[in-house]
Amino acid sequence: MRTKCCLLALAFMAAMSATPAAAGDREFHEIVERLSSAYQKKPMPFMGLVSFAAHFAQPEGVSGIKMAIFDDVDPALVPDPADFDAFMQRVAGSEYCPMVRVRSNRDGEQTYIYVREAKSGYEMLLLTLEPSEAVVMKMHLNPKAMEGWVNDPVDHGKNWSHRDSE
């Protein structure tokens, strides 16, 4: 009975955290929708649960992680970089400041990091596209956590998206 209650509570929290389109999440959802359409598939299920679990495992200074992972995608369906640049600028550019853009034609990887000021810190939108997977993340960073991102934004962006998709 107790286990059942716990599972129900977890499921409820997962459902709550997966509830779409809070006002500040517009950009996150638009990006996920665009990728869903490009890849012709939905993100991995139970991402609400993963986000909820990440709540306990997240590094100091990071909170409110929202995540969508597309795995086993068809590399032929990866969005055209130039089109996607324009799309990202249109969707995130008005609210967020572009911080890092990495494009590796060698590895077929693209990374976008957008940041905006938020209550007591920063809100970061992070997107990585790889030939067979894509990760979209939104998170809140306190000033201490932001320091690392400012200090070494490129490596931070690469490491974060890899760690969280594993």
Judged by the rule CB under 8 A, the positions of this chain that interact with another protein are 81-82, 97-106, 115-117, 122, 143-144, 146-147, 150-154
- Give the residue with the Cβ less far from another protein, 1 or 82: 82
- Give the residue with the Cβ less far from another protein, 47 or 88: 88
- Give the residue with the Cβ less far from another protein, 94 or 151: 151
- Give the residue with the Cβ less far from another protein, 54 or 126: 126
- Least distance between another protein and beta carbon 63 (Å): 17
Contacts of 46 (CB under 8 A, 6+ apart): 14
- Least distance between another protein and beta carbon 19 (Å): 28
Burial letters 54-74, b for 16+ CB under 10 A, else e = beeebeebbebbbbbbbeebe
Work out the burial of residue 142: count CB atoms within 10 Å of its CB; fewer than 13 is exposed, 13-18 middle, 19 or more buried: middle
- Least distance between another protein and beta carbon 64 (Å): 18
- Least distance between another protein and beta carbon 4 (Å): 46
Distances (CA, A) of 139 to 55, 80, 104, 115: 11, 26, 24, 10
d(CA 105, CA 108): 5
- Give the residue with the Cβ less far from another protein, 74 or 117: 117
124: which DSSP letter? E
- Least distance between another protein and beta carbon 28 (Å): 19
